[in-house]
Amino acid sequence: MAGLAAVDAAGGEEALRILDRRNDIDLVFTAINMPGNVDGVNLAVRIHRQWPELAIVITSAVVSLRQSSLPERCRFLKKPYNSAEAIKCFRFLLGC
């Protein structure tokens, strides 16, 4: 999509395993509510601690997060969003 490649994960635990194995991921896009024991907020916190250079975009239709409560390279994207909004956010965080 828009010159960006995606890697899917079934949940937060799988996302962390993927990040442990790969060094070619620059941004993580996650929903707050997802299956498993690691929700999107917990995933973002763990990613920020272990890989502070990674950009993170969190989305939800139910919960709203204040940008001031998020780390520098993290953004909240309220659902519903359109693909142009998401791509603009991704490109901003990636610096492209």
Provide the pLDDT for residue 56. Answer: 97
* Count of CA atoms in the C-beta half-sphere (13 A) of 50: 12
Q: Residue 67 — very low, low, confident or very high, per pLDDT cuts 50/70/90?
A: confident
Give the pLDDT confidence of 29-62 residue by residue, as tens digits.
999 999 889 999 899 999 999 999 999 999 999 9
pLDDT in tens, 83-93: 999 999 999 99
Q: What is the Cα gyration radius of the chain? A: 12
The C-alpha atoms of residue 58 and residue 74 are separated, in whole angstroms, by 8
Contacts of 62 (CB under 8 A, 6+ apart): 32, 33
Residue 63 and residue 77 in contact, taking contact as beta carbons nearer than 8 Å: no
CA 63 to chain centre: 15
pLDDT above 90 (res 72): no
Give pTM, 2 decimals. 0.90
Distance CA(83)–CA(17), nearest Å, equals: 27
